[in-house]
Chain A
Amino acid sequence: MSQLNFMDVYKFLPKTNCKECGLPTCMAFALALVKGEKHPKDCPPLLKPKYSQDLEKLNDLFGAEGEAEKKLHIDVDEEKCDGCGVCVIVCPVNARYCPNSLSGKQPKHPPDDHQLFQVKNGKSELLNLEHCRRLVAEGRERECRVCEIYCPRDAIKIGYYTAES
């Protein structure tokens, strides 16, 4: 979603600056769309038949109304994982909250609320995704995929998909 340029979105909007969406301009609405704060259906003029083609294009970009939103998933393949703990050490969020040890940073038990990964029973385990840099960080940090890059066994996959798929 973050790769989307707001100018590409803006050209499908009515460009009337009617303020019906609650924002001062259509440009601001385009920015809000890109950030994920608004949805195309929040623009009342777009729902008129005159703009139906534009609405279709926007729905293609952001997902149609009622359709489940594509969410970030980090999958750890249990077959491939051997619990080496590289993901625990390289994850920048883990690094901030884990105490120092010979292994550099060792997760506590019970784990910190912010911690993303821990190695339990010989396998890496994803604890909570909501603190992942791909969701909370700003700018280039949002493109973080160190756990996927450095996993020696390619056991970690970052993907965006709906819950059903």
Chain B
Amino acid sequence: MKEFEKFVCPGCSLYCDDIKLIFSDKNELLETYGLCLKGYKKVSELFSQNRIKKPLIRKNGELQEVSYEEAFDRVNELLKSSKKPFLYGFVNTTCEAQIKGIELARKINGYIESNASYCHGQTYLNAIETGFYFTTLTECVNKGDTFIFWGSNAADSHPKFLTKTIFSRGKFRITGREIKTLILVDPRKTATYGAAGVRDLYIPLQPGKDLELIRFIKDFMNGDKSQIPSDGFVGIDKEDLNRLIMNLQDAENGVVLFGQGVINSDPQGAVIRALIELVDLVNKQLKRGRFSIIPMTGHNMNGFVQVALSLVGKTQQIEFSNDNLVDNNENFVSKVKKGDFDLSIIVASDPISNLPVTLSSELSKKPLISVDCFHTPTTRIADVVLPAAISGLEAGGLVYRMENVPMNLQKILEPSEKLLSDEQILQKIISNVEG
């Protein structure tokens, strides 16, 4: 029997580090302690029937099992004949693989982007211009007293997030949940609403009204508006709005957590900008304490942002030509829409099932190389499939938690069927390209 204490779960961007796993001598998963259902499913995927065990190449229209050497040769051929390759994905993997991805993009004069381009990429693009009030989860546990979930359903996206922040008893507080106020700004009463108590606040905001509400709060706090209309504002009760503003003004250590609700309702990022400005304004007016922001990212999205910033100074839309960075304003979606590529390398992502049909059919027209651990719709249409070890279980490495705290994933098992990690696969492609 093998026991792993303090295992870091690779299930979501929370990277819980208080997990215990028990494996049998034959490497069968026996028991897990502390893992939520999402993490448990991730760990039990180790033994999934859906794992890809051998590299696959499309021959005569069908995927056939081959050796790694043959698959790498085919990848090399495809890369040599390609003029405009692009690399995409890099979220459900380690920073080491992301570094190799950018290195490969530089070598093959390609375009590289992570899933962040239609997720929290907007947040970081805005943050580069305006700056950001950051905090850490430990600070939330120990000092936090106001948690505003704006368009984010933490109970579903990061199941242990509520447990780790609002419900925990911090070092500087005698009580835990009792002193922490949960404010949910969402059109629906999501699972996060289920954790709300009597003191908590639910703001039923209509979809698309975020900007109006934020501007109203800013005006009110600036003194441009002296009172709240008696019939409320954008469908929100006067009393609720009053309590929301009071909570913003009285917090000792507040945090705004925003997720897909904010990003999807406004792809241009105006709501995110307004939220950052609101937090700025609150911080200027607060006499003691401060407000900060945590974007509810997915997996290692922050890792790619960190890696890309340190290597090329940009978070997304990274294109190389002759070993140099090229300015461009096209993102992954517009590039795919135009068909402005002739080969795609998808690493640790499944765009075919995530994207709308118009885009995914455009992707499927060109040669596609997929690096993945499981059979997905993307691997089914791919020309070359390179199976990888699961990051966080069969391959270790660095990842960034949702609030940009680096964590170390552990390699706890030897990969089955001698599979290579994402990092090793990309390194092998790079050395093949170099010849």
Which A positions have Cβ atoms within 8 angstroms of B?
81-86, 88-90, 95, 100-107, 109, 118-123, 149-154
Chain A residues whose C-beta falls within 8 Å of the C-beta of B39 in the assembled complex: 83, 122
- CB atoms of B38 and A82 under 8 A apart: yes
Interface residues of B in 143-178 (CB under 8 A from A): 155, 159-160, 162-164, 167-171, 176-177
- CB atoms of B168 and A83 under 8 A apart: no
Known: A102-B137, A103-B164, A104-B169. A150 touches B192 (CB 8 A): no
CB of B18 closer than 8 Å to a CB of A = yes
A59–B232 Cα gap in the complex (Å)? 55
Residue of B nearest to A85 (CB): B163
Given contacts A102-B164, A122-B38, 11 further A-B contacts (CB under 8 A): A84-B36, A85-B36, A89-B167, A100-B171, A102-B17, A102-B18, A103-B168, A104-B167, A107-B34, A119-B35, A120-B31
A150–B169 Cα gap in the complex (Å)? 15
CB of B37 closer than 8 Å to a CB of A = yes
Interface residues on B, range: 35 or more
CB<8 Å pairs between A and B, sample of 14 = A83-B39, A84-B163, A85-B160, A95-B176, A102-B164, A103-B164, A104-B163, A104-B164, A104-B168, A119-B34, A121-B31, A123-B37, A152-B162, A153-B155
- CB atoms of B194 and A83 under 8 A apart: no
A90–B164 Cα gap in the complex (Å)? 11
Min Cβ gap B308→A in Å is 28
- CB atoms of B167 and A86 under 8 A apart: yes
B195's contact among A95, A106, A152, by CB below 8 Å, is which?
A152
Chain B residues whose C-beta falls within 8 Å of the C-beta of A101 in the assembled complex: 18
Min Cβ gap B393→A in Å is 16
A106–B159 Cα gap in the complex (Å)? 16
Min Cβ gap B181→A in Å is 14
- CB atoms of A151 and B194 under 8 A apart: yes
Min Cβ gap B67→A in Å is 37
CB of B33 closer than 8 Å to a CB of A = yes
CB of B141 closer than 8 Å to a CB of A = yes
Min Cβ gap A115→B in Å is 12
Known: A105-B169, A152-B155. A82 touches B37 (CB 8 A): yes
- CB atoms of B160 and A121 under 8 A apart: no
CB of B197 closer than 8 Å to a CB of A = yes
A83–B38 Cα gap in the complex (Å)? 8
One digit per residue, 1 when the CB lies within 8 angstroms of any chain A CB and 0 when it does not, for chain B 114-143 equals 000000000000000000000001100100
Min Cβ gap A28→B in Å is 38
- CB atoms of B163 and A86 under 8 A apart: yes
Known: A104-B170, A119-B36, A152-B155. A84 touches B160 (CB 8 A): yes
Shortest Cβ-Cβ A-B pairs, 8 listed? A104-B168, A122-B40, A152-B194, A122-B37, A83-B36, A152-B195, A82-B37, A84-B159
Chain B residues whose C-beta falls within 8 Å of the C-beta of A153 in the assembled complex: 155, 191, 194
Min Cβ gap A13→B in Å is 40
Interface residues of B in 349-377 (CB under 8 A from A): none
- The CB with the most chain A CB atoms within 10 A, among B20, B31, B37, is that of B37
Chain B residues whose C-beta falls within 8 Å of the C-beta of A82 in the assembled complex: 36-38, 159
Residue of A nearest to B3 (CB): A109
- CB atoms of B33 and A118 under 8 A apart: yes
CB of B209 closer than 8 Å to a CB of A = no
Chain A residues whose C-beta falls within 8 Å of the C-beta of B265 in the assembled complex: none
CB of B41 closer than 8 Å to a CB of A = yes
Chain A residues whose C-beta falls within 8 Å of the C-beta of B331 in the assembled complex: none
B40's contact among A88, A121, A151, by CB below 8 Å, is which?
A121
